[in-house]
Structure 1
Amino acid sequence: MFTAIKTFSQVITHMSIAFGLAYLLTGSLALGGLAAIIEPVINVALLPLHEKAWHAIRRRHAASRLGLAAVAGEKLSQTGMHMGVAFAVIYGATGSMAFGGLLAVLEPICNVIVLPLHDGLWERLRGKFQGHGASLGKLAPL
């Protein structure tokens, strides 16, 4: 249960970053909301296809020295895909290559900074609950 709540919190954090940046760039709540919903949905739809393709590449090169390079290539490719989706969503919504490019750079940077802090907070919470013998299932409802 803890992992599910943490994952849900990660999604909300990611969507908040997308919304906040799009709103700051455009001044539009509608475009901010569009970015917060459409961008993650497209990434979620594309990620399994991306992982399937890279799984085949890694399997093909697992025994060779290219295995580690394939893992690095997958991460770079995934970053590029994420940036491309962010660019396409904002460019499609605003018609501005400048806004699309800026969001494509800023959004992954913000995620790289904020999400590890988020995960650290959740791991401290996990330790606190395990240390006290409590579980999230025993917490009082909100």
Structure 2
Amino acid sequence: MFTAIKTFSQVCTHMSIAFGLAYLLTGSLALGGLAAIIEPIINVGLLPWHEKAWHAIRRRYAASRVGFAALAGEKLSQTALHMGVAFSVMYWATGSMAFGGLLAVVEPICNVIVLPFHDRLWEKFRFRLENRGAARLAAL
């Protein structure tokens, strides 16, 4: 249950970043909302296929030196996928390559900066919950 709530919180954080940036770029609540909804949905839809393909690549080269390079390639590919989706959604919504390009660069950077803090907060929360549970068991 904890993991599901944390994941939902990550999605909300991601959507908030997408909305905030799209709104700042365009000044439109509608386009901000569109970016916040469509961009994460497309990413969520494409990511399992991306992971499945890279899982097969990593498994194939796991015993060789290419295994580490495959992991690095996967992360670079995932970043490119994310940037491509962000660009495509903003370009489709505004018709502006400049807005699309700016969102494609800035939005992933914001996610890379914000989400580790998000995860750290959730790990502290998990630690507190586990300590409370252990204290309750010890009191019994």
TM-score by length of 1: 0.91
Deviation string 1:52-100 (CA, Å, 9 cap, x unpaired) is 2112211221221111100100000000000000000000000000000
Residue 65 of structure 2 is aligned to residue 65 of structure 1: yes
Deviation of 1:13 (Å): 0.4
Alpha-carbon displacement from aligned partner over 1:9-49 (angstroms, at most 9, x marks no partner) = 11100000000000000000000000001001111111111
Aligned twin of 2:49: 49
Relative to structure 2, which stretch is displaced further, 31-40 or 120-129? 120-129
Q: Secondary structure at the match of 2:63?
A: coil
Whichever residue aligns with residue 24 of structure 2, its letter is: L
Q: Which has the higher helix share?
A: 2
1:122 aligns with 2:122: yes
Q: Give the superposition deviation at 1:6.
A: 0.9
The answer on 1:13 being equivalent to 2:13 is yes
Deviation at 1:132, TM superposition (A): 2.0
Shift of 1:133: 2.2
CA distance in 1, matches of 2:54, 2:40: 20
Aligned to 2:96: 96
Q: 1:74 — aligned with what? A: 74
Number of residue pairs matched by the alignment? 134
1:125 to partner: Cα distance = 1.1
**Root-mean-square deviation over aligned CA pairs:** 1.1
In 2: Cα distance, 1:5 partner to 1:49 partner: 24
* Identity over aligned pairs, percent: 82
Map of 1:139 onto structure 2: none
Structure 1 unmatched runs, 5+: 135-142
- Stretch moving more, 69-78 or 41-50: 41-50
> Structure 1 segments of 4 or more deviating over 2 A?
none
**Secondary structure in structure 1 of the residue aligned to 2:133:** coil
Q: Which residue in 2 is equivalent to 1:140? A: none
